[in-house]
Amino acid sequence: MKHLLSKLYLVLTAVFMMACSNEEVDAEPVDGGNQFIGSKTLIVYYSYTNHTEEIVADLKGMINADVIEVEPEEKGLDYSANNYAIGTEQLTKIKNNPGVESSYPAIDPVDVDMSQYNTVIIATPLWWSQMASNMQTFLFKYGQEMDGKNIGLIVSSHSSGISDVEADAKRLVPNGQFMSKSLWINNANHSKRKSMLEQWLLDVDYTNLSATTNNTMYLKINNNIFTVDLESNSSAEALVDLLKEGDITYEAHDYGDFEKVGELGYTLPEDNKQITTEPGDVILYNGNNICIFYGSNSWSYTRLGKIRDINTDDLKKVLGNGDVAVTFTLANPTFASLTRANSSESKMIYSINGTKLSQVPEKGFYIENGVKKIK
């Protein structure tokens, strides 16, 4: 019945469009150019001399990430007084009993849901060859929640090497997937931190670190990227298996003024239930049709997942009028196209955080026509 109504609707729509305008909307990224919806990276840092904070500020301008600052519960401590007497005492206490919570200095409560991130970048100072005690407290509390996540380590020091800080990080996050190299920024090269950060992101292949787990995929429409939280059913699992072989792109058209629908090109097992859809729902219909809902409808459907953090108005703007190409992928496309830039010519230029720019920046990361570049 739905297919019959669909065909009738398409015929009437075609007649109407021939009588009126057939202009399609070339949708630009929503929210003033923000192409990246659903951040997957967390930067957590502690800074005593502000050197680490300066590093994090520069890094935040290069990648799309949430940032948390670790702060000690007791304020105003002069850790450097008397040859770092307080800091040394705290580090010694940790070293003597690393598995006991009371060994670690108290920090302010942190509101963080680690399940939202698959990459965590830790930025910390070095104290007497060890990780600063307050950062150790944070990792003692949350290290187990970082199991299986990509872990990056950035260390700021005066001159000492960072091997013991790396050992502290791996002790506190024993099941993290540490990046291929840590970044060491000492006092002598602190002024060069921007170029060092850019090179480090390339060296650790940050472009591919946002690969999804089996409960997440990414959806690309009109240069906008969305995170889709997948359902726990055989249909979503079958789709993930297909995407492991490569990305899938299909054409979708409007139907019923509440969805974009198109043939996937594959048949998936169904897990139909009578449901009322919501904007952002990604639905399987009849085994081989994918519906992206910007409105609501009650029917027997299989829900594959739901687009994260999107409202009806923004979703309609992104989808536009008429047919639209939809791409499903397991690899986060936000950083999937990193290249070295050698031209200043551009049509659409955005900062890494989605702000539209008038020209290509002199140095650093930027987005040109949907492609992430570095200059």
3-state secondary structure labels for all residues of 20-40 = CCCCCCCCCCHHHHCCEECCC
pLDDT-derived band of residue 350, with 50, 70 and 90 as boundaries?
low
Assess whether pLDDT exceeds 50 at residue 56.
yes
Assess whether pLDDT exceeds 90 at residue 162.
yes
Q: Which residues pair with 250 in a beta bridge?
A: 326
Distance CA 316, CA 322 (A): 11
Cite the residue boundaries of each domain of the chain with CATH code 3.40.50.360.
41-208
Neighbours of 289 (CB within 10 A): 20
CATH class of 24-34+212-334: mainly beta
Average pLDDT over residues 179-183: 95
- Among 248-262, 302-316, 326-340, name the most confident range: 248-262
Q: What is the pLDDT at residue 355? A: 57
Cite the residue boundaries of each domain of the chain with CATH code 2.40.100.20.
24-34+212-334
Q: Structure pTM? A: 0.55
Kindly state the percentage of the chain with pLDDT values over 70.
Answer: 77
Q: What is the pLDDT at residue 38? A: 36
Assess whether pLDDT exceeds 70 at residue 197.
yes
Tell the residue number behind the tokens 């047919």, with chain if given: 323
For residue 230, the surrounding DSSP H or E stretch is: strand 224-230
Q: Are 260 and 291 in contact (CB under 8 A)?
A: yes
242-256 pLDDT tens trace? 988 889 999 999 999
Kindly state the percentage of the chain with pLDDT values over 90.
Answer: 59
Q: What is the pLDDT at residue 200? A: 95
Q: Is 364 left (phi over 0), alpha (psi -120 to 50) or beta?
A: left
pLDDT-derived band of residue 7, with 50, 70 and 90 as boundaries?
very low
Q: Among 3.40.50.360, 3.40.50.1100, 3.40.718.10, 3.40.50.1010, what is the CATH number of 41-208?
A: 3.40.50.360
Look up residue 316 and give its amino acid. K
Q: Are 47 and 125 in contact (CB under 8 A)?
A: yes
Q: What is the pLDDT at residue 156? A: 97
Q: What is the pLDDT at residue 210? A: 52
